[in-house]
Structure 1
Amino acid sequence: MKIMYMLNRFFGRKKETSPPDMKDVFRGAGCFKVPESVYNGYPAPLPSVPPLAAYFIRFLVSENGLDMFFHVLVKLGYKMELDLNTQILTRSGERGSKKVMLFLHPSFAGMLISLASDDFDVIATLQQKKFEPPLPSESFPSIDPGGLGSLQGDMEYWWVNLWFPFWQALSLERQSALDLDPEWREFILMHQQYEPEIPPG
């Protein structure tokens, strides 16, 4: 099974005990403002957090998507160590001062990619590639979506942070063409207006 191959490959990676602080990694990156147009694509950056001179994105991919992600970084001039799940990459060539801080974590039958970067070429290229997460039936093979009430725990995190941002970014044609089980399609349509409870304070 492909996902087992991916997880085996991941768990063979070296573990870093304490990743460096992002503020230190991107210190001196200069004035930094994320263009508004970038927020309209997928994956979209999270709201910027000054004084971090970098954008931050998080998205879920299948094994094929992970290979495509690696290819994007290599093509842009980033050298990677495939046995590390946390690493800082520096771009070679004329834009050698640009950096990517990368975190990989197997989750929801795919790979959760989190990265911070001061390189807009990275996010522009990622948004062109049309990455897709595993289907809901792959991420939750033992769950009957028709029997779900309010979302909580892992399901809430997956919906709010990973699946719904992907779904919203799709055109109506791509939404219709997605190979979803009817029960999961009904679940998505029913939860499109879902807003997670925000604890007081």
Structure 2
Amino acid sequence: MKINLLSLFTKKKIQSDFPIGQFSALPKEEGGYPLFLPMEKSDVHAHSAQFMIKPEDLSVIEHLIELFFHGALRINEEKEKIVYHNKTLICYRFTEFGQIIVKVITNDNDFVKCLCDKGLEPPEPESVFPDKDFGNYGSLQGDIAFWWDVYWEPFWKSLNERERNEYLGRSNFSDDIVEFLKFHG
């Protein structure tokens, strides 16, 4: 199920949660994952990310929220907003492809940097698509194309060639998965 956060809030409400005076653009750095994008085109002075995580990483994100926003927050299907020293975070999760997806909107660049520094990784392709034969996918299409574009590619592009090779080396992927990732990456 895909959720459009902006449709869940009125535009004025979400704009008021993120005043322009509390916003600064993220530095243009290479290699950030999760990929946070500015929401300025929607007149929302924050950055957002939507990313797939492994179940054990949910507690890592919750711990960071507690550190930066000084309040315990269990990430669930209900949108939660937490504010601390003029920094705001809206966060929730949902399920897509049988996996946990976390949606974060924030104007706290330090939180974003720390989250990106945690080395989070999405679940492996075979976990997301256990019944797919990746050796038969010469082109991206359908649900695999959507998964690649939205959830996998931001992670894959955040890795340089050495990091990709290290990732593939420590993973127990089939030859078909390795070939698929190399071909499309």
TM-score, normalization by structure 2 = 0.81
Secondary structure of residue in 1 paired with 2:28: helix
Structure 2 gaps, min length 5: 1-6
Post-superposition shift, 1:86? 2.8
- What is the one-letter code of the residue matched to 1:181? S
Secondary structure of residue in 1 paired with 2:48: strand
> Which stretch of the first structure deviates more once superposed, 79-88 or 174-183?
79-88
Post-superposition shift, 1:64? 1.3
Distance 2:67 2:129 in 1: 33
| 1:145 alignment partner in structure 2 | 134
| 2:28 alignment partner in structure 1 | 37
Q: 1:43 to 1:100 in 2, by over 3 A?
A: same
Post-superposition shift, 1:19? 3.9
Find the partner of 1:159 among 139, 144, 148: 148
Stretches of 4+ moved more than 4 A in 1?
Answer: none
Tell me if 1:182 matches 2:182. Answer: no
Q: 1:23 to 1:150 in 2, by over 3 A?
A: farther
Identical aligned pairs, as a percentage? 24
**Residues 38, 44 of structure 1: 8 Å contact kept:** no
Aligned 1:1-201 pairs, distance under 5 A: 19-21=8-10, 23-27=12-16, 29-31=19-21, 32-37=23-28, 40-48=31-39, 49-82=41-74, 84-92=76-84, 95=85, 97-178=86-167, 179=171, 180-192=173-185
**Residues 80, 89 of structure 1: 8 Å contact kept:** no
Distance 1:52 1:177 in 2: 38
| 2:4 alignment partner in structure 1 | none
Post-superposition shift, 1:100? 1.0
- What is the one-letter code of the residue matched to 2:95? P
- What is the one-letter code of the residue matched to 1:87? K
